[in-house]
Amino acid sequence: MGKSVVDNNTVIPRNVKTLFGKPAVVRTETKIYNELLSAFAQELKPKDTFEWLYVADLAYYRANIQHLRRIMSQFPEYHCNKNANARLACLLKDHYDTNYVPFFDRSQKEYQQTIKDLDKNDPELAKIKVEYENKITAKADELNEEIEKMTEEVERDSLSYDNQAGSFHSWSADYQAAERALALFEKGYKDAMRDFEEHRYGLGERLREAKMKIIDVEPEKNSSAAAKAAAPIEPQIAAKDEIGSPPQNSTPLTGIPLAPCKLTQETRGLILTLLLWLSSEPARSCPNFSRATAQGNARGKAETRLI
């Protein structure tokens, strides 16, 4: 995997990265966590803070899942090697006690017996000492070769199925504990993925739609669109006006000109519903409707006389 893009802030915004803090993983897994976080961010492309937090959760759970799986794979080898080292130590001790110690003791006694009657200045003494040291050194080299052969043999057989079966009782409990922890991390990973999806296509989408609606209500940018949307509705409204009502752009009786009003789609729908109800038979049978209609007609006639 190439160099992480997390460190140079090309993927994670600085304000979002501050929320994460120090990676909550083992120090040896920090690099893997950062790489996973970068890869998930590039694939999922978080759109808000919530999604960034879910992406961080995904990286956290996945890093721990991989870490636990590596640990679990080492349990058999660790315990087999541990048992093999114990076995090797016993073999080496037995070999040393059986071969080297008796030889060293015997050679030491022979050497002492040989030089017992020699003078310290006798040139034969130095010669005997050299022969003794060479004899001890040769035996030590022979012992070292035997130790290397025994070590290679034990290490070669340490991961055999027989040794794994023999050491199963010593690592099975640790393996089961790691499996339970692994199941929790895998569940957390699946939950984080589900929560991310539910947010993106649920609450997150509604928040983005609301944000777009707030932007769309700017009158300078949308006045023409609003006029086009209102065009099919205005003739229907005019057709339902009472006879004698003032023109749409005329000045009311108060003398105060009405400010231009931009109707939304919902408002126009409500006005149409009200007009249709007013023209229905139940509405005309209402006493308040008859009185209001009479007052409206009177105002219309008064305006006609003034004109």
Cβ atoms of 155 and 84 within 8 Å: the answer is yes
Per-residue CA distances from 217 to 203, 208, 210, 225 (Å): 22, 15, 11, 11
Compute the average pLDDT of residues 52-79: 93
Residue 211 has pLDDT above 50, yes or no: yes
**Tens of pLDDT along 87-140?**
888 888 888 888 788 888 888 888 777 777 777 777 777 788 888 888 888 888
Q: What percent of the chain has pLDDT over 70?
A: 65
Position with higher pLDDT, 6 vs 157: 157
Cα–Cα dist 307/303, whole Å: 6
pLDDT per residue as tens digits for the range 236-259:
444 444 444 444 454 444 454 545
The tens digit of pLDDT for each residue in 153-197 reads: 888 887 788 878 888 888 889 999 999 999 999 999 999 999 999
Which is more confident, 252 or 215? 215
Q: Do residues 65 and 193 make contact, with C-beta atoms less than 8 angstroms apart?
A: no
